[in-house]
């Protein structure tokens, strides 16, 4: 067992990725943690994040993490993060703001070394095959090997990307990872807040596309998603959108986030104003074809929706 997992009190080398925007809330995080893994509440507004952490605490006494996207993190977010057992940060300049366990997700060797120098207790190395927002350009196994060689055998390194089943978890551990981080597998769980129609698309789909289409409010952020009507209309076969769309979205992104939120119900495949929001329970149905259907390449190997606790125990087996 990894020393980091022992420090946290986590029994299994299985970590649920922090999927924000309402996708991973207390039900999912608590179910994963209660089954022996480390559940993670995805980033959200600070009051929502605090509420979700409290609700998770009511469901499990096991460790729970929260996820923060550094470009959008406020002092209020950090006050909530300090109440969690671990905080996982992503995207941006790593800086310790919490006395507890801090992991930083990285997409390159240099990012990993920068995070370690900043005092991170460990890093998550994300491969290009991962779903959602993607920093990496290398396969996860390749990046894991580079980082493990550079930081030595004792510094905690977790792997994200390309992991769908227990065999993948075992291989990640054998290759030097302290734990495996899974997003798409837990996206396809009963407790995940993704809209039912989104989950159905995940079960039916086999292909994803790396792109920068869903960027209003977050310019030039690369994502991996399922193909939907918006992607088919605006992306070429390589996942590139017209340059004028990127310029338009970058211009709109200077507006405050609150000013951009009214655009979400207006999203349509034919209107090139695409936010990073995914279709979750309660969100407009139009997001199914005009929103970001986040998914990693492992979606090609996943065909069912199951309870998160059951998945966690199976992955750890």
Q: What is the pLDDT of residues 175-220, one digit of tens each?
A: 999 999 999 999 999 999 999 999 999 999 999 999 999 999 888 8
Range of the domain at 256: 206-294
pTM score, whole prediction = 0.96
- Contact between 208 and 228 under an 8 Å Cβ cutoff? The reply is no
Residue 120 has pLDDT above 80, yes or no: yes
What are the tokens at 26?
């207390």
Q: For residue 15, what is the enclosing H or E element?
A: strand 14-16
Q: Do 27 and 106 reside in the same domain of the chain?
A: yes
Q: Which of 69, 299, 68 is nearest to 198 (CA)?
A: 299
Into how many domains does the chain fold? 2
> Residue 266: what pLDDT?
83
The reply to whether 129 and 154 lie within a common domain is: yes
Q: What number is the average pLDDT over the span 155-160?
A: 98
In this structure, is residue 199 part of a structural domain?
no
Contacts with 200 (C-beta within 8 Å, 6 or more apart), sequence order: none
- Pair 117, 228 in one domain: no
Lowest mean pLDDT among 118-122, 148-152, 174-178, 218-222: 218-222
Q: What is the pLDDT of residues 244-260, one digit of tens each?
A: 998 988 888 888 777 77
Q: What's the pLDDT at 174?
A: 98
Domain-located, residue 182: yes
Query: What mean pLDDT is reported for the chain?
Result: 95
Is 200 within the bounds of a domain? Answer: no
- 264-313 pLDDT, tens per residue? 788 999 998 899 999 999 888 889 999 999 999 999 999 999 999 999 99
Are 155 and 225 part of one and the same domain? no
CA geometry: angle 177, 181, 186, nearest 5 deg: 155
Helices (H), 130-228: 140-151, 166-174, 184-187, 196-204
The number of CA neighbours under 13 Å toward the Cβ of 222 is 17
Separation in Å, CA 97 to CA 30, 70, 83, 89: 24, 11, 12, 10
Q: Tell me, what CATH number does 19's domain have?
A: 3.20.20.70
CA 14 to chain centre: 14
- Whether 234 and 261 share a structural domain: yes
The verdict on residue 221 lying in a domain is yes
Based on the fold, state whether residues 170 and 243 are members of the same structural domain.
Answer: no
pLDDT class for 110, splitting at 50, 70, 90? very high
Number of helices followed by number of strands (H, E) in the chain: 14, 11
Same domain membership, residue 35 and residue 142: yes
User: Would you say residue 49 lies in a domain?
Assistant: yes
Are 156 and 243 in a shared domain?
no
22 and 150 fall within a common domain? yes
Q: Is the same domain home to 17 and 155?
A: yes
Q: How far apart are CA 62 and CA 223, in angstroms?
A: 31
Residues 180 and 270 in one domain: no
Residue 101 main-chain phi, psi, to 5 deg: -65, 130
197 domain residue, yes or no: no
Helix (H) or strand (E) holding 90: strand 86-90
Task: Assess whether 121 and 158 both reside in one domain.
Answer: yes
């Amino acid at each position: 067992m990894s020393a980091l997992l022992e420090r946290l009190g986590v029994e299994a080398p299985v970590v649920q990725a922090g999927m924000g925007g309402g996708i991973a809330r207390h039900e999912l995080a608590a179910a994963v943690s209660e089954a022996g893994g480390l559940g993670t509440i995805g980033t959200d507004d600070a009051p929502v994040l605090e509420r979700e952490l409290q609700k998770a605490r009511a469901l499990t006494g096991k460790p729970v993490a929260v996820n923060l996207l550094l470009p959008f993190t406020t002092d209020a977010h950090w006050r909530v993060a300090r109440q969690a057992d671990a905080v996982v940060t992503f995207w941006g300049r790593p800086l310790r703001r919490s006395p507890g366990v801090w992991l930083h997700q990285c997409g390159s060797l240099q990012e990993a070394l920068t995070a370690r120098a900043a005092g991170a207790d460990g890093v998550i190395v994300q491969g290009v095959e991962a779903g959602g927002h993607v920093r990496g350009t290398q396969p996860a196994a390749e990046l894991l090997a580079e980082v493990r060689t550079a930081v030595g055998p004792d510094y905690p390194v977790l792997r994200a990307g390309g992991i769908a089943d227990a065999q993948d978890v075992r291989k990640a551990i054998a290759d030097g990872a302290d734990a495996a981080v899974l997003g798409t597998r837990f996206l396809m769980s009963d407790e995940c807040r993704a809209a039912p129609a989104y989950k159905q698309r995940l079960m039916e789909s086999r292909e994803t596309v790396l792109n920068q289409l869903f960027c209003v409010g977050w310019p030039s952020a690369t994502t991996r998603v399922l193909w939907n009507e918006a992607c088919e209309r605006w992306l070429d076969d390589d996942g590139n959108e017209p340059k004028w769309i990127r310029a338009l979205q970058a211009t709109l992104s200077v507006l405050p986030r609150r000013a951009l939120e009214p655009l979400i119900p207006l999203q349509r495949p034919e209107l090139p104003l695409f936010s990073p929001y995914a279709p979750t329970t309660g969100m407009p149905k139009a997001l199914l074809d005009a929103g970001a259907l986040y998914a990693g390449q492992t979606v090609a190997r996943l065909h069912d929706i199951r309870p998160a606790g059951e998945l966690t125990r199976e992955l750890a087996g």
